[in-house]
Amino acid sequence: MSDFSALLSQVPRIQHGFGSKEALLPLSLQPYSESLPTKKQVHGLNIVDVTAPRQPCGEADGFYTELPGILLTVFTADCLPIIFSRKDGGAVGAVHAGWRGLRHGIIEQMVERINRQGSTADWVASIGPAAGACCYEVSQELVDEFQQSLSLSPALISPSYRHLDLGAIAHAKLIQAGFSAVDFSGSCTICTPKAAETVSERAQASPFKYTSFRRNSLQRAVDPSLPGISGRNQQSGIVILPD
């Protein structure tokens, strides 16, 4: 099953969803896949205004549109997918934010784009499945860098030794930026098990709900024959429904 945001589910005229292994592109979004802009995500700060179906966006990690029928998605596998919508469903956005994007300001770029013609007070956002604070261990240097550069509580940034809480950082940034409401959809990509419904499902080799770059890398260190995750990232996205 795909993950959905309780907040975004209340917005009229849009369809959204957060992917998982079972449906890398959520079923609710598949009818619109032909309209997808082309893009290369590079952990950068570029937000592209999408004004035509299948628009070539080049290197970009954020997308914004006011046009119905154009699906915006981001690929993730431990990074945060963040989906945005104006409360009337008249404008939407999507951002791919890993630690680099969060550290260097991809959320601030989307805030700037939204505030150019409107106000974040009229928007909601949902943070999708990503590496959780339970599993996302990083270097102490990186924790220090976040704690020194952000005006947030050190315990919010790193709730346990050398673990970074990407979702909490994003949530705090979005609230500070004035969004009317922000929620979380899905859970930790590294440790969430697949919800097994039958005995044969429980016996399957892959017990996890999401694709995880981190978990896959650890498994590959033990077993180099294990395939990489290329082409298996989940996609999360949003579309303004055509009239």
HSE at residue 15, side-chain half, CA atoms within 13 A, is 18
Q: Does 134 bind Zn ion (CB under 5 A)?
A: yes
- Interaction between residue 130 and Zn ion (CB under 5 A): no
Stretch that binds Zn ion, among 131-139, 152-160, 198-206, 221-229 (CB under 5 A): 131-139
Cβ proximity to Zn ion: between 71 and 80 the closer is: 80
How far apart are CB 144 and Zn ion at their closest, in Å? 22
CA distance 130 to 221: 21
Q: How far is the CB of 164 from Zn ion (least distance, A)?
A: 12
Minimum distance of Zn ion from residue 212's CB (angstroms): 9
Helix (H) or strand (E) holding 184: strand 181-184
Binding footprint of Zn ion, residue count (CB under 5 A): 6
**What minimum distance in Å lies between the beta carbon of 192 and Zn ion?**
7
Quick one: 114 or 190, whose CB is closer to Zn ion? 190
Among 191, 194, 220, 232, binds Zn ion (CB under 5 A): 191
Using alpha carbons, select from 30, 7, 6, 12 the residue that is nearest to residue 235: 30
At its nearest, how many Å lie between Zn ion and the CB of residue 77?
Answer: 14
Residue 23 binding Zn ion, by CB under 5 A: no
Phi-psi label, residue 216: left if phi above 0, alpha if psi -120 to 50, beta otherwise: alpha
Asked if residue 138 binds Zn ion (CB under 5 A), the reply is: no
End-to-end Cα separation, the chain, in angstroms: 27
- Quickly count: other Cβ atoms within 10 Å of residue 38's Cβ: 10
Residue 210 CB, shortest distance to Zn ion, in Å, is 10
Q: Of 122 and 137, which CB lies nearer to Zn ion in the complex structure?
A: 137
Among 132, 167, 186, 237, binds Zn ion (CB under 5 A): 132
Q: How far is the CB of 101 from Zn ion (least distance, A)?
A: 20
Contact between 135 and Zn ion by CB under 5 A: the answer reads yes
If the CB atoms of residues 175 and 191 are measured against Zn ion, the closer one turns out to be 191
* Residue in 65, 67, 35 with CA at minimum distance from that of residue 48: 65
Query: Measuring CA to CA, how many Å separate 172 from each of 92, 125, 137?
Result: 20, 12, 20
Q: Is beta strand 181-184 parallel, antiparallel or unpaired with respect to 123-127?
A: parallel
In the window 55-114, what residues touch Zn ion (CB under 5 A)? none
Question: What tokens does 51 get?
Answer: 């004004």
By CB under 5 A, name the binding residues for Zn ion. Answer: 132, 134-135, 188, 190-191
